[in-house]
Structure 1
Amino acid sequence: MARELTRFIYVTYIASTPEKVFEAITHPEIARRYWGHENVSDWTPGSRWQHVRANDARTVELVGEVRESTPPTHLVITWAAASQADNPDSYSRVTFEITPYEDMVKLTVTHDELEAGSSMAAGISQGWPIVLSSLKSLLETGKPLDVFAKPKAA
């Protein structure tokens, strides 16, 4: 029986340049500021990438492979929890499309090949909006959002 797959698409407009948006995604020292994680790779197709928690433990939380990279407009990576890296079925795909739009950038993030109903699908549907809002905030104001903020109990 084939797995049921789903996808998540997020589009935002950022007052920035394609170069700065691509750098923010691919440079660990910038990603750390708005994501609390570093994306580590040389970003050439076929290379591995790691999503490393930017804390003292430096835990590798996600892993994958760079499938396509055309700076500063296009990046495709595979994505899996580090604990499931040995399971080919655990990998999903993330595509970053960075398009100039007047004096700003249109950023489209498509996370697909996700197992429908999985904890990964649930997690990214909550995670991408705050991470990408934090990216937008950092590039536009110099100040990121707290991506680890939790709603206060009533």
Structure 2
Amino acid sequence: MSTASTRFIHVIYIASTADKVFDAITRPEIARAYWGHENVSDWQPGSRWQHVRANEQRKVELVGEVVESTPPSRLVITWAAASQADDPAAYSRVTFDIVPYDGMVRLTVTHDALEPGSGMDNGIRQGWPMVLSSLKSWLETGKGMDVFAKPLA
């Protein structure tokens, strides 16, 4: 693997509170509603976390470690495909910065330490915008979007 890395940053404004946004990221029963996955951990620095598909198979798809957890304003985790969990070079990092902003919340998701052009890099560039749109929809309307939808054309 090359030593070059890249990052992806997505900013979204949500008519909600910082507490509700943080809970939506960290509480499995909420993440299931808008992401189709559950984020499972005790969210203490140094703890492991798992991203588990919310279906009958309950497949663990992503794993990592909690680097920083400062509810409700900041969460930093490492991130790797479960199939690559034993390879330290496979891990990237995700930072959720949650800032109250004039009656709403500005959520900035920074996914960095990515290998440019890798499957993970390409996947998250499509995935994060959909997941964060679904999160916004769920918090504002009570209904998430189909994050597994595919383009029609």
Normalised to the residue count of structure 2, the TM-score between the two structures is 0.98
**In structure 1, C-alpha distance between the alignment counterparts of 2:138 and 2:15, rounded to whole Å:** 11
1:7 aligns with 7
1:75 aligns with 75
Query: Following superposition of structure 1 onto structure 2, how do residues 43-62 of structure 1 map, counting pairs within 5 Å?
Result: 43-62=43-62
2:109 aligns with 109
Identity of aligned residues (%): 76
4+ aligned runs moved over 6 Å, structure 1: none
**In structure 2, C-alpha distance between the alignment counterparts of 1:116 and 1:89, rounded to whole Å:** 13
Unmatched segments (≥5 aa) in structure 1:
none
Name which of structure 1's ranges 143-152 and 114-123 shifts more when overlaid on structure 2.
143-152
**In structure 1, C-alpha distance between the alignment counterparts of 2:140 and 2:84, rounded to whole Å:** 36
**In structure 1, C-alpha distance between the alignment counterparts of 2:2 and 2:130, rounded to whole Å:** 32
Kindly state the Cα deviation for residue 152 of structure 1 after the two structures are TM-superposed: 2.4
1:40-81 CA distances to partner (integer Å, 9 max, x unpaired)?
000000000000000000000000000000000000000000
1:87 aligns with 87
Kindly state the Cα deviation for residue 4 of structure 1 after the two structures are TM-superposed: 1.2
2:123 aligns with 123
Query: What SS does structure 2 have at the residue aligned with 1:147?
Result: coil
1:17 aligns with 17
Distance 1:120 1:2, change over 3 A: closer
Query: What SS does structure 2 have at the residue aligned with 1:143?
Result: coil
Q: Given residue 51 of structure 1, which amino acid in structure 2 is its aligned partner?
A: H
**In structure 2, C-alpha distance between the alignment counterparts of 1:17 and 1:47, rounded to whole Å:** 26
Q: Given residue 34 of structure 1, which amino acid in structure 2 is its aligned partner?
A: Y
Report the number of matched residues: 153
Query: What SS does structure 2 have at the residue aligned with 1:7?
Result: strand
Q: Given residue 124 of structure 1, which amino acid in structure 2 is its aligned partner?
A: I
RMSD over aligned Cα, in angstroms?
A: 0.9
Q: Given residue 28 of structure 1, which amino acid in structure 2 is its aligned partner?
A: P
